[in-house]
Amino acid sequence: MARSSRKPSSGGRGSGDKTERGDKAERGRKPAAKGRKRRGILGTLVYYGFVLGVWVLMAVGGLVAYHASKLPPIDSLAVPKRPPNIAILAADGSLLANRGETGGRTVTLKELPPYLPNAFVAIEDHRFYHHWGIDPVGITRAVVRNVTRSGSSMQGGSTLTQQLAKNLFLTQERTASRKIQEAILALWLERNYSKDQILELYLNRVYFGSGAYGVEAASQKYFGKTARSVTLGEAAILAGLVQAPSRLAPNRNPEAAQARGAMVISAMAREGLVNDNMAKIALMNPGQPVKPGGAGSVNYAADYVMDVLDDYIGTIDKDIVVRTTIDPGMQNIAEKALVEELAQKGDKFGVSQGAFVALQPDGAVKALVGGRNYSDSQFNRASVAKRQPGSAFKPFVYLTAIEKGLTPSTVRDDSPVNIKGWQPENSTREYRGPVTLRQALALSINTVAVKLGVEVGPKAVVATAHRMGIQSKLEPNASIALGTSEVTALELVGAYAPFANGGIAVQPYVITQVRTSDGVTVYKRSGTGLGKVLEPQTVGMMNAMLRETLLTGTGRKADLPGWEAGGKTGTSQDHRDAWFVGYTGSLLAGVWMGNDDGSPTKKTSGSNLPVEVWSRFMKTALATTPPTPLPGGAYKQMWPMPADQQAPTPPGGVPMADSGNPADTLYGLVSPAPVAARGAPLTISPLAQGGPQPQPQPRRVVSDDGVLRPPGSVPNGGGGAPRQGYPPPERSLLDKLFGG
């Protein structure tokens, strides 16, 4: 047989073995390649994740470093001093008001009931004692809640320490930069202060709205008490308030404040800071804000204290306590008298504002009301506003004349006067002829006051007023006699003090002592006045005349039964300003009423509204005080006796041709002089002792229409209705021209 030459086919055994081995090798290599591929991806992810993390950390570190560089150096960082608080106390030691940027003094944790600081911890940062200034758990929880509760109020992750850092060092802006700086500063605080110190700082610096910084100020503001005595319900409202001071203020939104307070109490119970029984009682008795009483006039007094405080102690760098002369009872009486008079008659008389000042004869301010309502207007009309005093200035004219030799019985002619074309008139447009100075002042006769002012000289009148206590600039012209230069109510009342105290000039004062909160005395008042400015006989004669104003003159409505009192009404041009200043031997008070814009009132004069306010105040304020006679001794008796009594004739003396009182001759002050014919011309001439005397005539009183009438012709001493067409006694043509 022949040998075959055919080659093995591709499907032969040899070929198949190679293929099989190759397939097995290939199958063995594939899993290893996939593992290497998978390991390469994970490694890459880890690698790049690590690199990215490093870059993020570097970026964050750089960002933190950048914003940290904007802060003061950490090694020199210090907690800024809290602005000092000024606690203003009344004469009896009760708190009148807090002043300063904080509105309340600093308190320590030891002073406070434990549930008060615990309330803040429970609602603001329940992990306060477990974190180191920044709370990652709290931040995470806040983020989750903000994401999952869309539409509801957003929650923040700031700790109490972060909030304190913001209040101490940063602004209130909401930026990433501020949050980073806040975190840095929180860490610094935690490193340098204990938890209790941080909580104490927080309670004294956090803002509670309405200008109250710190828990003490807030407690006084909303509950009228110190933080040391707040209830659990009140503490809960205070703690809940810091979230939104404007929206949750208990005096403006009590329902929301109490609802937030209930949340605080529940949080305290949940954290075990109060037991269930305490929580239940607190929920049943939520805190109730105090309602401000009256018109808040005590704040005018507090503002005045702040105005003068710098004169006593200079720069204030720590909490201080200021003891004042203010009598809370008199302050309330004054406020009530003024506010009620304006409420009852303000619209009728076209009067919108008023001011009131009460002083002791030594100058101590007992009450000061600077306006109708402090919340509506903080402008202090008692100590700052300057207005024309009108005829309330006339006593200084008459005093100048008395010191130059005239007496209450000296006669001057009430007749037309012409001073370089200026022709002042009386309010009644009538002239009485010869009248005593006593009568002229009591009836507020303009012509006589002007003539006296010219006789003694306007400069002398100005000098007298300044010596008595007026501090404002006064123009030495003829119209000064009718009060055309502006003064404040406080200085005008103070200038009457020498009449009440026997001749000692005073500077009205309101501060008696200043001490630091730890008891160190910074200032204590000493001294009793500015010295003697009037002689006893001068005091007596002035009191004789000014008392007559209340007995028979324009101030009859101000007469105080059982008391010797003097005073003077005043009305300026077009009835723009109405005044009454009156006094007894133990208390002085002055009232101004008018409009802030100086617009005319509707016939308001010193003899109506101001007199009524003064009388209401004095009758209540002096109700429990034994009557004190006016100073002046025997000289004071130169006023006429009551109409139903006959004046005695001195031994060997000749009665003066007055209304029957021989006192001037009795004490040898003047000599009898010829009687001038009624209506005879009387020119302005140099002063003379005594001067012409009037004919004896029955004692008369002035009626509401300004007309002098015999006793008995005017009911109740002159309380009849005014005649149609007649203005009040204080009105004159001079008022129109010169504001007299």
Could you tell me if 117 and 203 are in contact, meaning their C-beta atoms sit under 8 angstroms apart?
yes
Could you tell me if 396 and 424 are in contact, meaning their C-beta atoms sit under 8 angstroms apart?
no
The two counts, helices (H) then strands (E), for the chain are 22, 16
Q: How many CB atoms within 10 Å of residue 383?
A: 22
Max Cα distance, the chain (Å): 203
Of 697, 693, 699, 730, whose CA–CA distance to 406 is shortest? 693
What CA–CA distance (Å, rounded) separates 425 from 68? 79
Q: Which residues form the catalytic set?
A: 124, 391
Q: Dihedral through CA 508, CA 560, CA 547, CA 464, nearest 10?
A: 10
Q: At what angle do helices 115-124 and 232-241 cross, to 10 degrees?
A: 40
Q: Which residues pair with 66 in a beta bridge?
A: none
Of 499, 460, 491, 502, whose CA–CA distance to 477 is shortest? 460
State which H helix or E strand residue 522 sits in.
strand 521-524
What CA–CA distance (Å, rounded) separates 59 from 208? 38
CA distances from 489 to 276, 486, 556, 590, 693 (A): 59, 10, 21, 7, 36
| Chain CA centroid to CA 198, Å | 34
CA distances from 728 to 541, 570, 666, 731 (A): 27, 11, 36, 6
Sign of CA dihedral 64, 68, 70, 71: positive
Query: Which residue type sits at 559?
Result: D
471: which DSSP letter? -
Could you tell me if 231 and 115 are in contact, meaning their C-beta atoms sit under 8 angstroms apart?
no
What burial letters (b/e) apply to 22-61, b meaning 16+ CB within 10 Å? eeeeeeeeeeeeeeeeeeeeeeeeeeeeeeeeeeeeeeee
Question: What's 289-318 look like in SS3?
Answer: CCCCCCCCCHHHHHHHHHHHHHHHHCCCCC
Q: At what angle do helices 394-403 and 536-551 cross, to 10 degrees?
A: 140
Q: For tokens 């307070």, name the residue.
A: 261
Q: Which residues contact 140 (CB under 8 A, 6 or more apart)?
A: 157
10 Å CB burial of residue 686 (0-12, 13-18, 19+) is exposed
573: which DSSP letter? G
Of 132, 277, 292, whose CA–CA distance to 210 is shortest? 292
